[in-house]
Amino acid sequence: MERDKWIIESRRPDGPLDFSGLQPESVFGHGAITGLSSDAIAKVVYQHVPDAVLAGDSISRWPALLDPRWIARRKTWGN
C-alpha cells in the first residue's frame, strides 16, 4: 500500500496560492485537499491527457498537464 499522499495546489508563477479560475479539487475531487496517492493523480491525468508521460521523478508536475498553475506537493501532516 502506498503511504505517500500528495495535495494539489493552484499557484501563481511568483509562488502565492491562486484562487482564481478552476481549482484542482474541481477535477481531482476533495482528495486534492486531503491527499491523493500518485496512482490516483495519474488516473485523473490520463483521463484528460491519455498520451501523458508520467515519470515518477516528476509527480509534482503531473497536475500542470491539466492546468499550468497546478502543482502537487507531498502531504507531510496527518494521515
pLDDT of residue 69: 97
**Is residue 10 included in any domain, yes or no?**
yes
**Residue 61: which domain range?**
6-74
DSSP annotation of 16? S
Report yes or no on 64 lying in a domain.
Answer: yes
Q: What is the model's pLDDT at position 3?
A: 72
Q: CA–CA separation, 54 vs 13, rounded Å?
A: 22
Q: Is the residue at 79 inside a domain?
A: no
**What global pTM score does this model have?**
0.90
Q: Is the Cα dihedral 21, 69, 62, 33 positive or negative?
A: negative
For the chain, the domain total comes to 1
Residue 68: its pLDDT value, please? 97
Backbone angles phi, psi at 59, to 5 degrees: -55, -40
Cell numbers representing residue 70 in the block: 497546478
Sequence-ordered list of residues with C-beta below 8 angstroms from that of 52, at least 6 positions apart, any chain: 45, 46, 62, 65
For each of the chain's 79 residues, which pLDDT tens digit applies? 357 899 999 999 999 999 999 999 999 999 999 999 999 999 999 999 999 999 989 999 999 999 999 999 999 888 6
